[in-house]
């Protein structure tokens, strides 16, 4: 490829992959209307009482409009980032500004979700909280395995010459 070194091509490919995977993850992982697939996963099989279900439903409903607005803000910011990164001319300042907007919108939504999660956890019994924390720990382990695999690709071990 004339005019491009392999690192700039790789950089663009990684950026686009991250961008598209982020958009897809956002579109598939979070469903504000019914508290989100992550929340459902964490609460699945906890044998919640009728009172707990009512309290959790109230918590989710109280956050519903804010979460929806924040989700829209994140998706709009990502759409803008996509536009900026795929425009004909590269402008690092424009990409950085667009990314800061995505990060700020994502931060707002994350804070809102963390607050909602904290409220939901307070409704659960100690045993139910332990189950949820165990599920979260498994997610953390999966993330760590992914990180380790990627780090191994960054730092390949030197091959000995036979």
Give the tens place of pLDDT for each residue, 96-130: 999 999 999 999 999 999 999 999 999 999 999 99
CATH topology of domain 6-152: 1.20.120
Q: What percent of the chain has pLDDT over 90?
A: 60
Domain boundaries along the sequence of the chain = 6-152
Sequence-separated (6 or more) residues with CB below 8 Å from residue 76: 105
Sign of the torsion formed by the C-alpha atoms of 25, 120, 133 and 49: negative
Distance, CA of 78 to CA of 94 (rounded, Å): 13
Counting beta carbons within 10 angstroms of the beta carbon of residue 43, is it exposed (0 to 12), middle (13 to 18) or buried (19 or more)? buried
Supply the pLDDT for residue 30: 37
* pLDDT > 80? residue 55: yes
Report the pLDDT averaged over residues 136-156: 90
* pLDDT > 60? residue 60: yes
The residue assigned the tokens 């979260």 is: 136
Give the CA distances from residue 12 to residues 27, 73, 85, in Å, rounded to whole numbers and listed in that order: 22, 24, 9
């Amino acid at each position: 490829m004339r005019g491009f070194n392999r690192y700039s091509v790789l950089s663009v490919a990684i950026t686009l992959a991250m961008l598209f995977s982020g958009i897809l993850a956002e579109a598939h992982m979070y469903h504000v209307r019914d508290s989100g697939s992550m929340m459902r996963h964490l609460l699945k099989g906890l044998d919640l009482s009728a009172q707990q279900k009512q309290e959790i439903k109230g918590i989710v409903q109280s956050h519903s409009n804010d979460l929806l607005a924040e989700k829209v803000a994140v998706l709009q910011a990502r759409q803008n980032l996509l536009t900026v990164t795929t425009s004909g001319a590269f402008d690092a300042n424009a990409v950085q500004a667009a990314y800061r907007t995505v990060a700020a919108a994502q931060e707002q939504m994350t804070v809102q979700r963390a607050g909602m999660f904290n409220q939901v956890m307070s409704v659960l019994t100690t045993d139910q909280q332990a189950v949820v924390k165990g599920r979260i720990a498994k997610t953390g382990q999966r993330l760590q395995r992914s990180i380790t695999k990627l780090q191994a690709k960054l730092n390949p071990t030197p091959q000995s010459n036979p």
